[in-house]
Each structure stands twice: as C-alpha cells, then as structure tokens.
Copies of this chain bind each other. A is one copy, B any other.
Amino acid sequence: MSASAPRKALNIDNINPHVKAAEYAVRGELAVRSEEYRAKLARGEGKDLPFDSVIAANIGNPQQLDQKPITFFRQVASLLENPLLLEHEDILIKSLGYKSDVIERARWLLKEVKSIGAYSQSQGAPGIRESVAKFIERRDGYSANVKDIYLSTGASSGVNTLLHIICAKPETGILVPIPQYPLYTASLSVLDARCVPYLLEESSGWGTDLQAIHDSYEKAISEGTDVKAIVVINPGNPTGSSLSLEDIKSVLKFAAEKGLVVLADEVYQTNVFIGEFISFKKALRDLQKESPGQYDHVELASLHSVSKGMVGECGHRGGYFELVGIDPKVAEQVYKFISIQLCPPVIGQCIVELMVNPPKEGEPSHELYKQEYDGIFGDLKKRAYALFDAFKQMEGVECQTPAGSMYLFPTITLPAKAIEQAKKEGRKPDEFYCSRLLDATGVCVVAGSGFGQKEGTLHFRTTFLAPGTEWTGRIVKFHKEFFEEFR
C-alpha cells in the first residue's frame, strides 16, 4: 500500500447517482446558512449582522416559531412517558391541573401499546388505528377499516413507502403537481422513476387544471412512460390553495379513466381558511354512490400527519395513510416493506390518536382544548392575511388569496438588472432574491425553483407561522431596497 492515501472507496463520483440527483430545497443551502446565522447570534457574535434574529419561514415548523403545543396532548404524553405518575392521581389533578380525561386516556393508550418503549405492530398499534378509522368515518360519513390504516413516521415516510411500492422500473411515472412539495421529486429521483409534472393554475387560486393533467399524461405516455399514479396536495403546499369539490372529482374521474392510483397528501386538512376541506376519500365514495359500478376500481392512498394543523407536533414524527381499493396482495407488500423499519415511533402514534380523538364537548379537557385550538387557528389566519396584505403593497409581487395550508407562494417579477446579476453569480433569479433576503433580514424563505414553477415565472414560499408582524416589515423594507438597487 502506498503511503499517500488512495482515493476514498466512496466518493462523489461513485455513490448512488439517484441520491445525488435528488434536490430538496426546503432544507438546502439557505436553510443551512440561516442555521449558521442563528448559531452565531446565539453565541453573541452577530454584531456585524444587519438583524438580531433569524426567522425560519422556510419550513412549516410551528413550535420552532413559538406555537404552544396543545395542553391535552402533552399532558397525556407526559403520563405515557412516565406511567409511575399515574400512581399519584390526586397530585396530578389537585396540584398539576391534569383533568380526569387526561388520566383516562393515558391509561387506555398504555393498555393498547403496553409501553411506548416497546415496538408496536409495524402497521401501528391496533387500538390507535381503530381511533383513526373512527375519525375518518366521522369526517367523511363513510366507513373506514382498521386494516386499511397504516401509521407512519410523519407523512413523509408514508409517501416514501407508497412510492417504493409503485415505482417498479425507470419508466414508471407519477403525475406530480407543479409547484409541489419537493419530497415527491426527491423521492422519485432516489427511486430512479419519472416525475410527470402537471402545472397548477395560479390564476384560479392554484386549482387543478384537468386539461394540463391530460396533456402531461398524454405527453408522458407518448414518451414511453408508464404513468401509474397522480399526486394531489390539498390544501396546497407550497401554493396555499384549497381545492374545490369539482377539482377533486375531476381528478378522481381522470384517475378512474386512466387507471391511476391517487396519492392524496392531505396533511393540511385542518388549515383551511376558505370553504371547507373535502377529503378525496369522501369525494370518491360520493362518486361511487352517484354512479354505481363506475368508480369501484379506483385506488387511493390518503395521508395525514400530526405535524401540521393546529397540532403542529412535527418533532413527534407521527402520521398515517389509508389505503382504499388497493389489492390485498399489494397491501401485503406494503406491510412487509414497512416491517423492515420495524414500526413508527410509538409516542408519535399516540399523538396521532390524540389528534384524531381530541376531548369531546362536555369532557373535562374540552374547554381548554377548544380555546387553544381556536386560538391557534385564528392567529394563523390573521397572520396569513397580514402577510397577504403586505405582499399586495409590494412592487412586482402578486399573491393568490390565502385559502389553506401554512404557506403563501407569491409571484415576483424581478427587475432585469437583478436577473442579470443573478446570472453573473451563477444563481437562479429567485434563489438570488431569497439569498439576498436572508442576508439582509435573517428571514429564510424558499425560492420557487425549489418547488417547480411555470417557465418564465418566479416565486418564493414563505410560512406565516412566525409570531408578530415585525419580520413582515423586514421583508417589505428589503424588497423596496432590492428594487431600488436593481431598477
């Protein structure tokens, strides 16, 4: 062996090219730099920075931005972590503010999982899946079966599972909305399958455009792509949209006609500001009732999570998906696949249970729960509209009315000089804008190119989770100065 070190066995030129090809901007370069700024400020070394705090508006992470957890959830969770506390009911109730339903729920969950330190069934604890099924029944007015519910490590791992099952070969294609949450394109890259993009219609609140879906599908088929599924994110990420029943039904009809599996990413189902949320499952059952026999073959997987909504328990990595109309032999393979990773975090499973089965009216914890839930909802809505109003006043910025999810996704029309400067620096124009925004204000957003956007358009995605309006002011001021600099 020579004394000079040979090239590493693993190097950038010989590792998995499909991993290399994946892009995930939500936690990309800007996110990393914003963390460096945050650490610098925390060390008291940020005197040279033109801001005194970092605002992580790049990711839907409510509790990072001071959203308080729902008390009922966390009281139950504390008892699950330390069941010995249940030997002190009196103290819990009289001195620590725990209500009797907190204690009952903890006892019931412990009976179901035995210990949150034990692996559960790979599909999730049966009692918890039962609660999820009942929740879906109440939500949709149609039955749900515990055997079709799969608990997951956040919705992300559910998406990963479903795409692993579906993507059979490099020609397999999945219709993905553009703009999209980059989990989809990144996972398809890793799986060496094809993303078949279909454009959402910005001018109509980022709704689905059946003609666009149809054209993308036909184009893909003509190129030899075996299109197997269509992803819909409703309410929309990054778009902030909320789909109409008509849009949902037209996607289902298209899927029925072409034999596509529908992947309904419904993690923002309680973040709806305009109209009401309608699940793909309900819309499918409606169609099946209206046209007997016509839609029985439709295959649907719908995903939910504890990370979003008023729950905001991202760090607990809880979620589930429901399989509808899936061949039992395929479901067996889903089970086997998830079993390789043993089981989702059990305390996360318990948070799923609490989310789908919160205190009911008349129960001791209900009043506080409702007050907290409504408070968070109201705050989010208020901030969404405050940000929307700020965008309306900004030169070259247009934004659809906030309808759902945790994001706004405005169009930005940048001055030609800025686009030139971006080119000089080897950056996409929207990334250039977002990078400058971060350096000037400490506000971290994600460039539209990280989600995909119609050619020739530029956007960025921002959450409206950060409290107060001071940070909105920073954006407005930066934007004005940016335009002055590059006009």
Contact surface of A with B, Cβ cutoff 8 Å: 1, 3, 5-6, 8-12, 14-17, 19-20, 22, 24, 26-27, 35, 39, 59, 61-64, 69, 71, 74-75, 77-85, 88, 91, 95-97, 113-122, 126, 153-154, 156-157, 160, 164-168, 183, 186-187, 190, 228-229, 256-257, 259-261, 293-294, 296-297, 299, 307, 312-317, 325-327, 329-330, 333, 336-337, 339-348
Q: Is the CB of B154 within 8 A of A10?
A: no
Q: Is the CB of B69 within 8 A of A77?
A: no
Residues on B with beta carbons closer than 8 Å to the beta carbon of A313: 117
Instruction: Give the CA-CA distance A336 to B164 in the complex, in Å.
Output: 19
Q: Is the CB of A10 within 8 A of B228?
A: yes
Say yes or no: A84-B71 contact (C-beta < 8 A), given A15-B333, A261-B9: yes
Q: Is the CB of A342 within 8 A of B156?
A: yes
Nearest B-chain residue to A1, judged by Cβ: B294
Nearest B-chain residue to A186, judged by Cβ: B340
Instruction: Give the CA-CA distance A343 to B325 in the complex, in Å.
Output: 31
Q: Is the CB of B153 within 8 A of A345?
A: yes
Given known contacts A8-B299, A117-B312, what 16 new A-B pairs fall within 8 Å (CB)? A8-B325, A11-B327, A12-B327, A12-B329, A12-B333, A14-B168, A15-B165, A19-B165, A19-B333, A19-B336, A78-B78, A84-B97, A153-B317, A153-B345, A156-B340, A315-B345
Chain B CB within 10 Å — which of A24, A83, A115 has the most? A115
Chain B CB within 10 Å — which of A118, A186, A336 has the most? A118
Residues on B with beta carbons closer than 8 Å to the beta carbon of A83: 74
Instruction: Give the CA-CA distance A12 to B382 in the complex, in Å.
Output: 49
Instruction: Give the CA-CA distance A119 to B154 in the complex, in Å.
Output: 11
Residues on B with beta carbons closer than 8 Å to the beta carbon of A333: 12, 15, 19-20
Q: Is the CB of A63 within 8 A of B118?
A: yes
Q: Is the CB of A121 within 8 A of B156?
A: no
- Distance of A436 from chain B, by nearest CB (Å): 23
Q: Is the CB of A61 within 8 A of B118?
A: yes
Contact of A64 among B8, B119, B261, B330 (CB under 8 A): B119
Q: Is the CB of B341 within 8 A of A160?
A: yes
Q: Is the CB of B164 within 8 A of A190?
A: yes
Instruction: Give the CA-CA distance A314 to B118 in the complex, in Å.
Output: 5
Instruction: Give the CA-CA distance A480 to B384 in the complex, in Å.
Output: 72
- Distance of A352 from chain B, by nearest CB (Å): 13
Q: List 6 A-B contacts (CB under 8 A).
A: A6-B297, A12-B327, A24-B340, A74-B82, A81-B347, A317-B344
Residues on B with beta carbons closer than 8 Å to the beta carbon of A15: 165-166, 168, 330, 333
Instruction: Give the CA-CA distance A229 to B307 in the complex, in Å.
Output: 36
Q: Is the CB of A88 within 8 A of B96?
A: yes
Instruction: Give the CA-CA distance A78 to B345 in the complex, in Å.
Output: 16
Instruction: Give the CA-CA distance A97 to B79 in the complex, in Å.
Output: 15
Contact of A95 among B88, B121, B317, B341 (CB under 8 A): B88
Residues on B with beta carbons closer than 8 Å to the beta carbon of A337: 19, 22, 190
Nearest B-chain residue to A341, judged by Cβ: B156
Instruction: Give the CA-CA distance A116 to B306 in the complex, in Å.
Output: 13
- Distance of A184 from chain B, by nearest CB (Å): 10
- Distance of A313 from chain B, by nearest CB (Å): 4
Instruction: Give the CA-CA distance A84 to B39 in the complex, in Å.
Output: 26
Instruction: Give the CA-CA distance A257 to B115 in the complex, in Å.
Output: 46
Instruction: Give the CA-CA distance A264 to B121 in the complex, in Å.
Output: 27
Residues on B with beta carbons closer than 8 Å to the beta carbon of A326: 8, 10
Chain B CB within 10 Å — which of A9, A187, A260 has the most? A9
Instruction: Give the CA-CA distance A157 to B157 in the complex, in Å.
Output: 11
Residues on B with beta carbons closer than 8 Å to the beta carbon of A79: 78
Q: Is the CB of A82 within 8 A of B77?
A: yes
Q: Is the CB of A315 within 8 A of B115?
A: yes
- Distance of A59 from chain B, by nearest CB (Å): 7
Residues on B with beta carbons closer than 8 Å to the beta carbon of A257: 1
Contact of A113 among B12, B77, B315 (CB under 8 A): B315
- Distance of A191 from chain B, by nearest CB (Å): 8
- Distance of A147 from chain B, by nearest CB (Å): 12
Nearest B-chain residue to A258, judged by Cβ: B9
Q: Is the CB of A75 within 8 A of B82?
A: yes
Instruction: Give the CA-CA distance A302 to B256 in the complex, in Å.
Output: 48
